[in-house]
């Protein structure tokens, strides 16, 4: 049996809006997400000697917040289709973020050598959360950033800059709600995750005996330049 205890555990998390306004870009959002998933599957194979990848997809609207898969082996993670991604209802953005991060933090508490990459994708403002406030979500994100977690935000059709400042997220991509731009931002996300995996691989190769604090510092540096293009 393969020994995975010394590998970097990479937790790929996507929290994706499924509210009614996403209907306009349903097809391109599905295609874009599937390309990102394909990239994660490829990275998991490329860096299998030093990394173990996990995939989480959370779809949210005001009728439900659904963990389509949670810390799944990327090879087993299913693509989205027009049957599994059907936009409708309102936008409980804070609840979707808060529930996901709270659960994952609890599950990973004390785990050594983990890298967590969280991307939030939405086309609208918060309008229906009942459990988490902006203040609570911002504090949670800031705490996890201090632990070396990476956060990114892809947004359209709302004040993306204002929202991300309020959430303490600095890796931000804005796009126009067209098929071409939707596909382009998902491609940017795919490249960012590929670069992150590559940089972690190079760090592990150069510093195999790095301390926990050295790894955390490096992950924080990677987080600050998530969308940097080589």
Q: Which residues of 176-198 are buried (b: 16+ CB within 10 A; e: fewer)?
A: eeeeebbbbbbebbbebbbbbbe
Query: What pLDDT is stored for residue 171 in this prediction?
Result: 98
Query: What pLDDT is stored for residue 184 in this prediction?
Result: 97
> Mean pLDDT for each consecutive 10-residue tract of the chain (230 residues)?
74 98 96 98 98 99 98 99 98 98 97 96 96 98 96 96 97 96 97 98 94 93 91
CA 35 to CA 203: how far, in whole Å? 26
CB 166 within 8 A of CB 97: no
Domain residue ranges in the chain: 14-224
The pair of structure tokens assigned to 26 is 């349903």
Is 14-224 assigned to CATH 3.40.120.10? no
CA 69 to CA 37: how far, in whole Å? 12
Query: What pLDDT is stored for residue 6 in this prediction?
Result: 84
Query: What pLDDT is stored for residue 22 in this prediction?
Result: 97
């Amino acid at each position: 049996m393969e020994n995975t205890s010394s590998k970097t555990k990479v937790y790929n998390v996507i929290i994706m809006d499924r509210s009614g306004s996403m209907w306009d870009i349903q097809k391109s959002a599905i295609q874009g997400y599937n390309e990102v998933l394909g990239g994660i599957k490829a990275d998991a194979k490329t860096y299998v000697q030093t990394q173990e990848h996990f995939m989480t997809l959370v779809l949210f609207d005001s009728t439900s917040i659904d963990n389509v898969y949670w810390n799944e082996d990327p090879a087993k993670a299913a693509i989205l289709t027009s049957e599994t991604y059907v936009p409708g209802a309102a936008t409980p953005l804070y609840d979707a973020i808060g529930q996901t991060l709270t659960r994952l933090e609890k599950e990973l508490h004390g785990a050594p050598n983990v890298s967590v990459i969280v991307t939030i994708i939405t086309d609208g403002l918060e309008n229906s959360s009942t459990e988490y406030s902006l203040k609570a979500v911002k504090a949670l994100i800031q705490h996890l950033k201090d632990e070396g977690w990476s956060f990114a935000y892809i947004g359209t059709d709302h004040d993306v800059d204002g929202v991300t400042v309020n959430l303490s997220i600095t890796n931000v991509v804005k796009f126009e709600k067209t098929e071409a731009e939707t596909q382009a931002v998902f491609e940017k996300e795919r490249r960012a995750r590929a670069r992150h995996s590559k940089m972690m691989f190079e760090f592990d190769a150069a510093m195999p005996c790095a301390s926990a604090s050295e790894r955390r510092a490096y992950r924080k540096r990677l987080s600050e330049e998530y969308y940097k293009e080589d």
